[in-house]
Amino acid sequence: MSEDGEVSQQKEAIPQQPMNTMYFLIMMIFMVIIFIPQLRYSLGYAAGIIMDPLFSFGYSYPLYTMLATGVLVTIINSAAAHYYTDWIAMARIQEKTRAFNKVYREAMQKRDMAKVEKLRKLQMKYMAESTRVQGNTMKATLITWLFVIAIFTWLWLFVEYKIDYTYIAIPWSFSLELNHVSFLFPNWILIYSALTFPLAWVVRYIFKYFEFRKKLEAME
């Protein structure tokens, strides 16, 4: 076998997470709604029927509104993902993948092509397991995407058109305009992300902690 062929084999991903057709379908629908204002705004106005009384705070505290909205979206996403995701199976697949990659690299370094061929057959089994777990996770996305788009669109309309003022004071700026574009996005989206990303990690960690704890108690 040529040296170029060996290098090419070394660069192969082992094993890769296969893309799910449903994932692309969901993303296509998502993009259609995002780029058709009539659909997007209709969802936002519908969400406002519930969101306005709960989280508008008299249109005077936009940061509170963004935080409350982020908490709601995080709980919806995390709860759906937790319900459909088998965390135990996912952890096992991750451990198998790490062990597989280690053995595969060692076989490639030793140029043990017979062992590499056997590992490639085993790779197909891991990919099938990964596809099954990934498919369950996509079910959560299919359920929650409509609610998330509606809520986020409502927040967009809230910040742009409903609040009386769009200037706020934050630790690094005493006068920040929420709708001013910075780093390709309006400031309010950056603030929203800064508030919700850590929250999403914490909420998912809590869900996973109790799931593993329940499984371990059942095993004992």
How far is the C-alpha of 125 from the C-alpha of 121, rounded, in Å?
A: 7
Q: Which domain holds residue 171?
A: 163-220
Q: What pLDDT does residue 53 have?
A: 92
Q: Residue holding tokens 């296969």?
A: 18
Residue 92 sits in the same domain as residue 127: yes
Number of domains in the chain: 2
In a domain, 58, yes or no: no
DSSP for residue 163: S
| C-alpha dihedral, 141 to 147 to 152 to 158, nearest 10° | 180
Mean per-residue pLDDT pooled into runs of 10, the chain (220 residues) = 44 44 68 78 90 90 90 87 76 80 82 78 74 70 81 91 83 82 85 87 84 74
Domain boundary pick from 126, 149, 172: 149
Q: What pLDDT does residue 220 have?
A: 65
Would the pTM count as exceeding 0.75?
no
**Do 33 and 39 touch, CB atoms closer than 8 A?**
yes
How far is the C-alpha of 185 from the C-alpha of 152, rounded, in Å?
A: 14
Pick the closest to residue 130 from 208, 212, 23, 15 (CA basis). Answer: 15
| One-character DSSP codes across 117-134 | HHHHHHHHHHHHHHHHHH
Q: What pLDDT does residue 108 have?
A: 82
Q: What pLDDT does residue 135 have?
A: 67
First to last CA, the chain: 52
In a domain, 216, yes or no: yes
In a domain, 157, yes or no: no
Q: What pLDDT does residue 8 have?
A: 42
